Structure 1
C-alpha cells in the first residue's frame, strides 16, 4: 500500500509545480483583483498590427451617433477608419483625447474617418467631454454594448480605451490596447492610408 500512495504523492507534487509554472503574471487579472475601485481595466499599451494576408473579415456594424445619425461600416469601404472606444470618466481616455483630435485634423483631408465609441455615457456627459477636450469627430452611443459586443474579437469588453485602425476594406489593420501614443497611432494610420 505504501507504493501507490508514494506514486500518488509524486503525481500531486508534479501537478502542483506544473500549475504553479502555468500561473504566469496576468496584469489584467491583477487589476481586477486589486479592488481599487477605479471602475476600468487599463490596457497595457500593447500594439497589434495585422498584415493584410492575416486580417479577418471586414468589420460589420450599424450604430447610432449621439445626434441620431445612423452609421454603417459598409459606408466606410475605400477609407481608413479609426475607432476609439472610450467613456468620460476613464482617465486614459482623457489623456489621449487631444492627441486623437489632433490626428483626426491631420488625416481628415486624406479621407480618414474617426469615430468614438462611447461605451457608458448618456449624450450630455459625452457632449461635455467632447467640449472640454475639443473633440470634433462624432461618437457612437454604445451604452447598450452592441458595437462593443460585435468587436470582442479585437476589443476586450473592459479594456477601455482601445483604438482600432481599419484598412480600406474595413478590416482591422491595427489595435492599441490602452493609452494611445500619438506618434505610434499616426504611423499606423499613415501605413493604412498608403496601402
Structure 2
C-alpha cells in the first residue's frame, strides 16, 4: 500500500512539472514566428519607482542618443525590430502618439534589438516613423540598462520614463491594442511632473 501511495505522489509531482506556462506554450506551438509576444500594462506609482534608467547609443541617423541629456523630459522608449509583426502593426499608431506629444516635451526613442542600420531606416521610411532609434543589436547595452524589474519581456514593449528618468509604466505588446491607455499613461506622467 505504501508503495502505491509513493508511486502516486511521484507521478503527481512529475506531471505537475509538465504544465506549460504561456511562454512555454508559445515556444512549443511550433509556428516559428521568431518572437515572444506579450500583453499587459504595469504602472508604477512615483513612491515605488526605482533609480533612473541611464542608456545611450548610436541612432539610425548616425547621432548619439543619451537618456541623461533628456533628463527633465518624459521619455517614451519603444523596443522593436523590423521583422516583428506586432512592431509593424503598431508603428503608425506609435508615430501618431509621438506627433501628438512631442510638442509637449515628450521625447520618443526606439531601441532596435536586432537590425542593422539599412533595415531599421527602411522600416522607418515604410511606416513613416520620424523619431530616432538606437541600434542595439550588436551589444545590447541599451536593453541591458532596463534589465531590472521592468525590463522588456517581449517585443514590442513600450516603457515610459518620468522626468527623473525612472520607469513610470511598461506596456507589453503592440500599442494598437491600447492606444488610449498609452496616452492616459503619458498624460498622467506629464501631470505629475508639472504639479
RMSD, aligned α-carbons: 1.9
Which of 155, 165, 168 is 2:163 aligned to?
A: 168
Distance in 1 separating the partners of 2:41 and 2:16: 26
Shift of 1:150: 2.3
Q: Which structure is larger by alpha-carbon Rg, 1 or 2?
A: 1
How far apart, CA to CA, are the structure 1 residues paired with 2:73 and 2:8?
57
Q: 1:183 aligns with which of 180, 185, 190?
A: 180
Cα 1:147–1:7 shift into 2, 3 Å: farther
1: distance between equivalents of 2:59 and 2:51? 24
Match of 2:32 in 1: 37
TM-score, normalised to structure 2, is: 0.88
| Distance verdict in 2 for CA 1:77–1:12, change over 3 Å | farther
Residues 128-182 of structure 1: CA deviation (Å, up to 9, x unaligned): 111111100000001122211221232346x110110111111111111111121
Q: What is the CA-CA distance between 1:24 and the residue it aligns to? A: 5.5
Aligned to 2:151: 155
Counterpart for residue 146 of structure 1: 141
When residues 185 and 35 of structure 1 are mapped into structure 2, their CA distance, relative to the original with a 3 A threshold, is same
Counterparts of residues 60-71 of structure 1 (less than 5 Å) = 60-71=54-65
How many matched pairs?
188
> Which runs of structure 1 show a deviation greater than 2 angstroms over 4 or more consecutive aligned residues?
6-25, 152-157
Range with greater deviation from structure 2 (49-58 or 145-154): 145-154
Unaligned regions of 5+ residues in structure 2, if any? none
1:8/1:174 Cα in 2 relative to 1: closer, same or farther (>3 Å)?
Answer: farther
Query: What TM-score do you get using the length of structure 1 for normalisation?
Result: 0.88
CA distance in 2, matches of 1:156, 1:96: 16
SS for the counterpart of 1:163 is strand
Give the Cα–Cα distance (whole angstroms) in 2 for the partners of residues 185 and 12 of structure 1.
52
Q: CA deviation at 1:10?
A: 2.8
Give the Å deviation of 1:192: 0.7
